[in-house]
Each structure stands twice: as structure tokens, then as C-alpha cells.
């Protein structure tokens, strides 16, 4: 092989990094054997590590740079997180009242003694002060950090629970409180480290004592000033933990209708055993959750706040909760109508609300019920004065007996309850089959 070919091979072997050939700093060869001197006097190669950023491939016998389509950081990017299932509220950490956190931290910090073996009084006192301030900082900061780590990020929650946070707490309240807790944690850590450092630099016993006292008071004042963030988080945890847990794989019967049409009474009638009553913080009327058992199969039953005749933008949080349940949960609908005029919403307005909801959630299994039929018989609809299109045949039929195929029931006289239970059971069995079919379709 010729000299030029040999040089070409050497250049091919060298990576695309800076090459340093150093001969001036080679070790002296005096006293070495001739063969050893040859090896030592050979040029030495030194490479700068981590400089090569280009990859190559062989094209027609030559090395050609290859454009990288993905960087290392792109390869290391985390895959998008999947939405969590429901039940995140029951996994929330137990938040202590701010006053308990503060006074527990002060007690623990004051128990800290100086490191053993320090003879000099000034050194011992500044050591004790720095250790106590450091302990107080940790005792205050660790609970706040744990809360921030264990309260879920709202954007990864299930759509239903995300809606509950917004409707229960108000839009942005959840993130705002967590942001204040995070700011308090950062401030406590920053001030605590600063005063611990000052105390460690004290030159006399008295100076160390003064800086310890000053640091303790400063941390206590900061925590007290921002303590409401912790107490607000405590209230949020209590509120969300009280929200009923809904199993997404269990069919749910959702009772819908205008306010005061008798939904809650039907929940108690349809549910076996005593329904679980869970009060939402934004309503004094509460929401009922119960269960129905059909052929050893358990089904969920939920009451929802009443809907009024108005556009979505004007709806209150109670009405939005009803729409969230229908939108995000596997529900079959039991729509309740009250044609007696006693509920506060006229039959005409109930009809308009019903048509809108029926059209919006047309893919839901559905049963219509006219409640309080005993009162309807005693108070004919013809005697009720109301606004509405009375010339409409469909409206007139609705005002007499509700939608076509509706079941007339009375909790007081037990009229129609057996038929209602039978229809509800059949609908829930169909809902179960529907859920099984939907869960199996992606696999097939």
C-alpha cells in the first residue's frame, strides 16, 4: 500500500472531531530500549469528547453525512399521558389545617440540638441556630410539596371529573389555589435557607441567637400570611372527596327533568336499599346516588339538578352538572315530566326543554315518565293558564299525558311503579349489552 493510500485510511479512521498531535510534551526516551523509544516517539492523538454531532453512511464507497430527523431530546420525549379513570378524588391526600402544620413544625424545630462535640460556645450556638432554621424550613415545606405532587393535574383527569372541578369550585379556582400553595412553598424554602445561612455565619453566641430568633419569626410570619392557601386546599379536598364515585363500566340510570318534578322520590323508589346521599357544596338540595340490582347485576342510579328553559351560556352550575353527567357518563335516561303545574315550570316550558335534551342526547337509551299522575287527574290541565302554543296538536297531547309512550306514575298511590321498574330493568340490561359491545368493538 502506498504512503498516500495509508494517509487516506488514517484520515478515514479519524472521527469528525478536532485532532491534536502533540510531540513537544512526549515523555523523554532516554534510557529506554530502541523499540520502546519508537513507540513513545510516535505521534499521539488526543480527541475532544462529545464533539461529533454528524452521522455518516456509505454511498458509492464514500462516507456521506446523514441528516438526522429526530434529535436525542425528541427520542426521549415522554409519550402523552392517558386520561385517568374516575376515582381520582378519592386518592387525594389528607391536607392538614395550616395552624397544625405551623405549630407542629415549630415544635419539631425547637427540639433540634447542636451537633455533638462542638466546644466553642459561639460555634455551637450558630450550629444549633442553622440546624433549627433548616428543620423548620423542611417541616413547613415537605407537606406543601407532597400536596402539590399528589393533587392531580386537571388536564389529565377524566372529562367527567374535570367538569366536576370546574362546576363545583368555579373555573380556574383549583389551579389558582395550587399555584398559591406552590408560591408559599418556594417562599418558605428561600427565606429559610437565607436565614439559616446568615445564622451559620454568626461570629458570636449573641449574634447567632438573634439571627435564629429573627429567622423563626420571619418564617412564621410568612406562613401565617399565606396560610389561607393551605386551608383553601383543605376545603377543596373535602369537597371533591365527597363527590359520588361513578363506575364507568357499570350502566347508570340518570333521572333528568325540570326542578321539583319528583326525580328524587323516584330514585328512592327504584333503588334497592337506602340511597347514598351526597351533598354538593354549591347546592342545598343535594344529589342522590343509589343502586339497582337486577338478576344479580348491579346498576347505578343518579338524580341530577333540574334544567330550566334557557340557553347553555345562561345555565348555572347545577344545570351544567346535569349536562356533564349526560355527556361523559354511560347513562340511560329516565326523563321525568310534571304536568300538574306544581313544580314551578309550566308544561309548555318543560316540553321545550325536553325536546332540546332529547335531540342533544339522541344516542342514549330513554324512558319517559309523567310523575304525580294522581294530582294530574284531580287538576285537569285545561284549567291551567300558561303561555305556550295551545293550538299545537303535539303540545296539547303533551300537556295531557306527556310524550308518546310515557309511563304515568304516582309515588303516593303507587300507580305505574311496577311497570316503571320493569321498563327500567329492561333498559339497563340493554345498556349493559351496549357497553359490552362498545368495549369489544375496538379489539375486533
317 and 261: one domain?
yes
For residue 414, the domain's CATH number is 3.40.50.300
pLDDT at 312 over 90: no
Per-residue pLDDT band for 274 (boundaries 50, 70, 90) equals low
Q: Which of 203, 218, 242 is the last residue of a domain?
A: 242
* Of the residues 215, 242, 269, the one at which a domain ends: 242
Residue with cell 359520588: 244
Alpha-carbon span 9 to 57, nearest angstrom? 17
Residue 201 lies in a domain: yes
| 317 in a structural domain | yes
CB 216 within 8 A of CB 136: yes
> Has residue 118 been placed in a domain?
yes
**Is the CB of residue 408 less than 8 Å from the CB of residue 415?**
yes
The predicted structure's pLDDT at residue 376: 73
Sign of CA dihedral 243, 248, 250, 256: positive
Of the chain, the percentage scoring pLDDT greater than 90 comes to 37
Q: Is the same domain home to 170 and 217?
A: yes
Pairing, β 366-370 against β 407-408? parallel
**pLDDT of 27 strictly over 90:** no
Residues 185 and 257 reside in one and the same domain: no
Q: Which of 133, 139, 137 is nearest to 104 (CA)?
A: 139
Same domain for 162 and 297, yes or no, is no
Q: Is residue 169 assigned to a domain?
A: yes
Phi-psi region for residue 116, left (φ > 0), alpha (ψ -120 to 50) or beta?
A: beta
261 in the same domain as 166: no
Instruction: Write the pLDDT tens digit of every residue in 94-121.
Output: 999 999 999 999 999 999 999 999 999 9
Higher per-residue pLDDT: 56 or 42: 42
**Spatial separation of the C-alpha atoms in residues 210 and 290, rounded to whole Å:** 62
Q: Is the pTM of this model over 0.75?
A: no
More confident residue, 237 or 47: 237
The answer to the question of residue 25 being in a domain is no
pLDDT digits (tens, 9 = 90+) for 63-84: 345 454 444 444 444 444 554 5
Inside any domain, residue 322: yes
123 shares its domain with 202: yes
Q: Which domain holds residue 403?
A: 252-379+394-440
193 shares its domain with 212: yes
| Same domain assignment for residues 94 and 210 | yes
In this structure, the answer to whether residues 400 and 354 fall within a common structural domain is: yes
Measured CA to CA, the distance from residue 131 to residue 408 in angstroms comes to 75
Of the two residues 302 and 31, the one the predictor is more confident about is 302
Average pLDDT score over residue span 51-67? 43
Which of 213, 242, 271 is the last residue before a domain boundary?
A: 242
> Are 342 and 400 part of one and the same domain?
yes
pLDDT at 163 over 80: yes
Residue 29 has pLDDT above 80, yes or no: no
Lowest mean pLDDT among 189-198, 227-236, 291-300, 357-366: 291-300
- State the Cα–Cα distance between residues 165 and 284, nearest whole angstrom: 18
Total tally of structural domains belonging to the chain: 2
Least confident of 354-363, 371-380, 418-427: 371-380
Q: How confident is the model at residue 359 (pLDDT cuts 50, 70, 90)?
A: very high
Instruction: Write phi, then psi, for 351 (nearest 5 degrees).
Output: -65, -45
The model's confidence at residue 147, banded by pLDDT at 50, 70 and 90, is: very high
Q: Is 402 inside a domain boundary?
A: yes
Residues 258, 214: one domain?
Answer: no
C-alpha cell of 151?
Answer: 393533587
Identify whether residues 101 and 146 lie together within a single domain: yes
Sign of CA dihedral 198, 202, 208, 211: negative
Q: What pLDDT does residue 396 have?
A: 83
Reply yes or no on whether the pLDDT at 26 is more than 50: no
Q: What is the CATH number of the domain that holds 228?
A: 1.20.120.1190
The residue count for the chain? 444
Cα–Cα distances in angstroms (integers) from residue 185 to residues 81, 141, 195, 358, 423, in the given order? 26, 5, 16, 49, 56
Q: Which residues touch 324 (CB under 8 Å, ≥6 apart)?
A: 160, 163, 164, 167
In a domain, 65, yes or no: no
Task: Out of 25-29, 340-344, 402-406, 413-417, pick the least confident.
Answer: 25-29
Amino acid at each position: 500500500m502506498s504512503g498516500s493510500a495509508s494517509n487516506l485510511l488514517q484520515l478515514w479512521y479519524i472521527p469528525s472531531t478536532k485532532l491534536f498531535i502533540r510531540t513537544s510534551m512526549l515523555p523523554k526516551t532516554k534510557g529506554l530500549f530502541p523499540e520502546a523509544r519508537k513507540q513513545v516517539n510516535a505521534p499521539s492523538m488526543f480527541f475532544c469528547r462529545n464533539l461529533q454531532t454528524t452521522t455518516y453512511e456509505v454511498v458509492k464507497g464514500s462516507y456521506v453525512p446523514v441528516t438526522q430527523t429526530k434529535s436525542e431530546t425528541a427520542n426521549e420525549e415522554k409519550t402523552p399521558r392517558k386520561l385517568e379513570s374516575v376515582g381520582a378524588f378519592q386518592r387525594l391526600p389528607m391536607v392538614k389545617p395550616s395552624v397544625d402544620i405551623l405549630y407542629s413544625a415549630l415544635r419539631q424545630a425547637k427540639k433540634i440540638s447542636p451537633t455533638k462535640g462542638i466546644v466553642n460556645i459561639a460555634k455551637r450556638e450558630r450550629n444549633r441556630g442553622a440546624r433549627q432554621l433548616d428543620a423548620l424550613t423542611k417541616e413547613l415545606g415537605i407537606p406543601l410539596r407532597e400536596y402539590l405532587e399528589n393533587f392531580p393535574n386537571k388536564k389529565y383527569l377524566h372529562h367527567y371529573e374535570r367538569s366536576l372541578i370546574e362546576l363545583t369550585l368555579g373555573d380556574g379556582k383549583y389551579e389558582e389555589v395550587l399555584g398559591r400553595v406552590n408560591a408559599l412553598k418556594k417562599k418558605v424554602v428561600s427565606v429559610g435557607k437565607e436565614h439559616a445561612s446568615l445564622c451559620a455565619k454568626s461570629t458570636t453566641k449573641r449574634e447567632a441567637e438573634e439571627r435564629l430568633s429573627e429567622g423563626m419569626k420571619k418564617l412564621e410570619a410568612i406562613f401565617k400570611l399565606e396560610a389561607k392557601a393551605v386551608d383553601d386546599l383543605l376545603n377543596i379536598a373535602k369537597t371533591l372527596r365527597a363527590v359520588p364515585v361513578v363506575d364507568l363500566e357499570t350502566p347508570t340510570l340518570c333521572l333528568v327533568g325540570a326542578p321539583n318534578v319528583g326525580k328524587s322520590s323516584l330514585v328512592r323508589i327504584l333503588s334497592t336499599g337506602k340511597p347514598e346521599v351526597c351533598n354538593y357544596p354549591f347546592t342545598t338540595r343535594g344529589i342522590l346516588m343509589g343502586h339497582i340490582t337486577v338478576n344479580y347485576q348491579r346498576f347505578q342510579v343518579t338524580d341530577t339538578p333540574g334544567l330550566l328553559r334557557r340557553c347553555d351560556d345562561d345555565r348555572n352550575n347545577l344545570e351544567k352538572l346535569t349536562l356533564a353527567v349526560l355527556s361523559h357518563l354511560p347513562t340511560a335516561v329516565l326523563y321525568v315530566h310534571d304536568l300538574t303545574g306544581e313544580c314551578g315550570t309550566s308544561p309548555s316550558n318543560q316540553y321545550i326543554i325536553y325536546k332540546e335534551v332529547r335531540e342533544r342526547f339522541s344516542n342514549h337509551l330513554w324512558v319517559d315518565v309523567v310523575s304525580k299522575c294522581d294530582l294530574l287527574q284531580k287538576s285537569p290541565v285545561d284549567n291551567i293558564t300558561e303561555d305556550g302554543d295551545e293550538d299545537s296538536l303535539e303540545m296539547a297531547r303533551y300537556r295531557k299525558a306527556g310524550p308518546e309512550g310515557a309511563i304515568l306514575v304516582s309515588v303516593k298511590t303507587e300507580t305505574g311503579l311496577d311497570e316503571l321498574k320493569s321498563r327500567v330493568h329492561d333498559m339497563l340490561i340493554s345498556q349493559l349489552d351496549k357497553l359490552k359491545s362498545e368495549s369489544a368493538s375496538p379489539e375486533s
